[in-house]
Amino acid sequence: MRNHGNPDIRLIYADGDMKQARFQRHVIRLAILIAGLGLFVMIVRRGTAGYQGTPQALQWIEAGAGGLLPAELHFENALGKLGVLNTSGPIEMKGHPFFEPLGINPRGCITCHQPAHAMSVSVDALRERWRATKGEDPIFAAVDGSNNPKLPQALESSHSLLLNRGLFRVGLQWPPRDHHGKVVQPEFSIEVVRDPTGVNLDDTYGLKGVNPTVSVFRRPRPSANLKYVMSPDDVFNIKTGVLMATDPETGKPVSMNLMADARHLTLKQQAFGAYKDHQEGRQGALPREEIEKILAFENQVYVAQSFDRWGRSLVEAGGPIGLGPKAMAEGKVHVLANNNRDPVFRVFDAWKKPDAMPKDLSLEQREFRASVARGNDVFMFRQFWIRDAAHINSIGLGNPIKRTCATCHNTQMTGQDLAPGWVDVGTTNYPTWTEPPVFSDKAELPVFKCTCDKSAPPHPYLGRVIYTNDPGRALITGKCADIGSIVMGQFRGLAARAPYFSNGSAKNLRELVDFYDRRFDMKLSEQEKVDLVNFLSVL
């Protein structure tokens, strides 16, 4: 187990002088003894709960390091612990294509999809890596681990988007190609109006380069719990009223819920894309067996928060049934759960009565559990006016609709959308984005001005001139109405992978909740906000 240190001990260190040092050492020894005893008691009490110490080496796994990834792991984070479950048993990382460098740079998939960070990566971990490796870690590779490959890579400022917001550069060709490789005639033109990184106006990498490219900056999405992400909806795509895209190999409809813009239809396409883009894999395609091994790994790994802040398991007899990685592994896919019978993250009733909880919980722990249960009710049932959200309000539901968070986040266990989940909830488009004004010095993200053709249907709520830092789905479809629509990702392991939203605009869960409060004028009380944050923190 990682030693975070008891904050009280740290305080003694900070204030101590030489005279007190001896006394302090005693205190520390005593503290360690008590802590050790506590740990022993915890282990004994947990018995077969499967908790085990997590070796330091697994806190950050380097590509090619080898070793064994145990079947079950629990990693500490600021809000408790994250559980990771490999249902196929321990994974030998040596020679495994998910864990080995495959391309030209020394990155593996593992580099950006770390078990300790819910198979994504947190900004705190990125900063720590920068400090520990003086910026040499392959995760900072120029290609997409810096603001612009042409900037001096040794400077921290050249990686500010990754270090401040956890964002990787995603370069997408413009105009886009469809799934058969045919050029899509876009309904709008793109102009770069702000380019703090310089990459979009660059003559090699930019929109005017030989291969015109739009660079947007996005968070890595968890490569776990994927049976939910990949489960297909229907033959028709309810968002567009046309047929769902199909898997080129099987001809079967796909989920269209992968990546922030649903550009990849299958995990196979996605793995090829990641290999080419992030790992600069140019020495031919990945061999089939490597792809299959990557997919096999991805399809058996489950993550979810597993322990509370006080070190107590969130999975307890008679408690909520949707928590922890085992519940993720065992859950049913494709359950529409925006109802009160079997809600999105299942039932929290057991935590509604502090008196009915296990007797050995502290008052604080009980209050926390009660707050989580209330947060679930806010998420599921607290109504507000959902307004001007393209691909929700515009698909026949009406604008506005008086509904809840679970209207959009309706899929059981993950909180994604059962249908293809691209929605313009306002995270990347002016004026609802959380960005400084366009001409501010503090600006970090690019701003694009999209101007739509008169003949094309406009964006339903923003019209034909739209300022955005990520056009999202529209970069793939070329459709004006799709500008700023981002595919909602799963909610699991949130505590292990701040910041949030595809553009990293919410530093923590409180900022995420505040975004919604502003965006939809929800008028959440302070208690409701705290409850929502606590609720999201245990998922």
Stretch that binds other proteins, among 89-97, 284-292, 303-311, 396-404 (CB under 8 A): 396-404
Minimum separation from the CB atom of position 389 to ligand HEC (A): 4
Pick between residue 231 and residue 312 the one whose CB is nearest to ligand HEC. Answer: 231
Q: Collect all residues with Cβ–Cβ distance below 8 Å to 372 and sequence separation of at least 6.
A: 348, 351, 531, 534, 535, 538
Question: Of ligand HEC, other proteins, none, which one sits near residue 287, judging by CB under 5 to 8 A according to partner kind?
Answer: none
Pick between residue 215 and residue 312 the one whose CB is nearest to ligand HEC. Answer: 215
- Determine how many CB atoms are found less than 10 A away from the CB of residue 170: 21
Question: Of ligand HEC, other proteins, none, which one sits near residue 369, judging by CB under 5 to 8 A according to partner kind?
Answer: none
Handedness of CA 263, 492, 228, 518 (dihedral sign): negative
Minimum separation from the CB atom of position 314 to ligand HEC (A): 17
Ramachandran bin of 230, using left for φ above 0, alpha for ψ from -120 to 50, beta for the remaining angles: alpha
Give the largest CA-CA distance in the chain: 81
373-392 residues near other proteins, rule: CB under 8 A: 385, 387-388
Minimum separation from the CB atom of position 121 to ligand HEC (A): 8
Report if residue 65 touches other proteins, rule: CB under 8 A. Answer: no
Question: Of ligand HEC, other proteins, none, which one sits near residue 396, judging by CB under 5 to 8 A according to partner kind?
Answer: other proteins
Pick between residue 101 and residue 319 the one whose CB is nearest to ligand HEC. Answer: 101
Residue from 39, 41, 235, 356 touching other proteins (CB under 8 A): that is 235
Question: Of ligand HEC, other proteins, none, which one sits near residue 399, judging by CB under 5 to 8 A according to partner kind?
Answer: other proteins
Minimum separation from the CB atom of position 263 to ligand HEC (A): 7
Report if residue 461 touches other proteins, rule: CB under 8 A. Answer: yes
According to DSSP, residue 138 is labeled G
Pick between residue 109 and residue 370 the one whose CB is nearest to ligand HEC. Answer: 109
Minimum separation from the CB atom of position 236 to other proteins (A): 4
Q: In one letter, which amino acid is 333? A: V
397-436 residues near other proteins, rule: CB under 8 A: 397-402
Pick between residue 7 and residue 241 the one whose CB is nearest to other proteins. Answer: 241
Based on the number of CB atoms within 10 Å of its own CB, is 172 exposed (0-12), middle (13-18) or buried (19 or more)? middle
Q: In what order do the strands lie in the sheet with 301-307?
A: 72-77, 80-86, 301-307
520 and 387 Cβ atoms separated by less than 8 Å: yes
Report if residue 241 touches other proteins, rule: CB under 8 A. Answer: yes
d(CA 82, CA 115): 9
d(CA 393, CA 386): 8
Residue from 222, 232, 320, 458 touching other proteins (CB under 8 A): that is 458
Give the burial string for 139-159 (b: 16+ CB within 10 Å, else e).
bbbbbbbbbbbbbebeeeebb
d(CA 103, CA 114): 18
Report if residue 37 touches other proteins, rule: CB under 8 A. Answer: no
Q: Is the peptide bond before 436 cis (omega within 30 degrees of 0)?
A: no
Of 182, 264, 226, nearest to 87 (Cα)?
226
Pick between residue 34 and residue 235 the one whose CB is nearest to other proteins. Answer: 235
3-state secondary structure of 52: coil
Handedness of CA 525, 491, 234, 333 (dihedral sign): negative
Residues near ligand HEC, by CB under 6 A: 107, 109, 111-113, 144-145, 168, 170, 218, 220-221, 223, 229, 258-261, 267, 270-271, 274-275, 278-279, 294, 298, 379, 386, 389, 392, 405, 407-409, 423, 425, 427-428, 486, 488-489, 491, 494, 500-502, 512, 516, 532, 536
Report if residue 234 touches other proteins, rule: CB under 8 A. Answer: yes
d(CA 239, CA 298): 28
| Chain residues in the site for other proteins (CB under 8 A) | 234-236, 238, 241-243, 336, 385, 387-388, 393-402, 457-458, 460-461, 463
